[in-house]
């Protein structure tokens, strides 16, 4: 990987957009018939990191960055988590099924949160910066992250705000681990307290359409 990003790397920008479109293709078509082919996307991203020789700090996996990020971001995450739980209890919207499965479900969310933050910040945001996006990189990354959650309006709203904030925090503290754990925890709590009729059961793409309308347009198959 180059030491400085002053000169835009157009190849990095093309690479990032290509991987993004591949993710959309997987969500909207490939997953319907070949659900395990997401491994191809993951393999391409890992190969990209290896080719560019991106180390621990570039990916936000450093222990020093984790401690610094946790001390600054952690209290706000705890505060938000408490607010979500309190609101859910007050409004009586805590989902008993999700609550019963909390230990296993939370673990899955933490892992999935880390994966999403890796793709958003460790990969996409880094490539956009290398490609010359500059100060627009966080908003651009958040916008692409939001489009990946079409057509679930609830997840799109959360992804735009949360994705932008995560990108800004990643540039400031450079800790993928902190953001991944925060993402997983808040995601789990939203699933716990937000009614399915609002959250769309956290589904995206064809699965969201099938859930909402009971059918899927043949033209998209």
Is residue 3, in this structure, part of any structural domain at all? Answer: no
Token pair, residue 157, equals 């709203």
Question: Does position 165 have pLDDT exceeding 50, yes or no?
Answer: yes
**pLDDT tens for each residue of 98-152:** 999 998 999 999 999 999 999 999 999 999 999 999 999 999 999 999 999 999 9
DSSP per residue over 80-148, as a string?
HHHHHHHHHHHHT---HHHHHTHHHHHHHHHHHHHHHHIIIIIIIIHHHHHTT-GGGHHHHHHHHHHHT
Is residue 2, in this structure, part of any structural domain at all? Answer: no
**pLDDT tens for each residue of 34-59:** 999 999 999 999 999 999 999 998 89
pLDDT score at 163:
98
Is residue 5, in this structure, part of any structural domain at all? Answer: no
Is residue 72, in this structure, part of any structural domain at all? Answer: yes
Is residue 4, in this structure, part of any structural domain at all? Answer: no
Query: What is the mean predicted confidence (pLDDT) over 62-77?
Result: 95
pLDDT score at 2:
45
Return d(Cα 142, Cα 9) in angstroms, integer: 20
**Residues 64-84, buried b or exposed e (16+ Cβ, 10 A)?**
ebbebbbeebeeebeeeeeeb
Domains in the chain, number: 1
Q: Give the domain extent around 81.
A: 10-220
Is residue 43, in this structure, part of any structural domain at all? Answer: yes
Count of CB atoms situated within 10 Å of the CB of 205: 21
DSSP state of 35: G
């Amino acid at each position: 990987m180059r030491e400085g990003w002053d000169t835009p790397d157009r190849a990095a920008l093309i690479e990032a957009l290509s991987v993004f479109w591949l993710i959309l293709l997987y969500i909207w078509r490939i997953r319907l018939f070949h659900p395990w082919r997401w491994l191809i996307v993951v393999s391409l991203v890992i190969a990209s990191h290896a080719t560019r020789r991106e180390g621990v700090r570039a990916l936000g996996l450093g222990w020093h960055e984790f401690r610094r990020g946790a001390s600054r971001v952690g209290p706000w995450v705890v505060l938000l988590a408490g607010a979500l739980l309190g609101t859910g209890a007050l409004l009586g919207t805590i989902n008993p099924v999700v609550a019963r499965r909390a230990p296993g479900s939370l673990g899955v969310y933490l892992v999935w949160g880390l994966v999403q933050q890796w793709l958003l910040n460790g990969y996409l945001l880094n490539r956009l910066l290398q490609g010359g996006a500059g100060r627009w990189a966080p908003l651009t990354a958040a916008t692409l992250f939001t489009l990946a959650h079409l057509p679930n309006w609830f997840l799109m709203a959360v992804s735009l705000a949360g994705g932008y904030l995560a990108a800004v925090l990643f540039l400031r503290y450079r800790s993928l681990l902190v953001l991944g754990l925060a993402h997983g925890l808040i995601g789990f709590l939203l699933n716990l307290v937000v009614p399915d009729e609002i959250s769309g059961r956290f589904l995206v793409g064809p699965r969201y359409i099938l859930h909402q309308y009971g059918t899927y347009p043949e033209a998209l198959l």
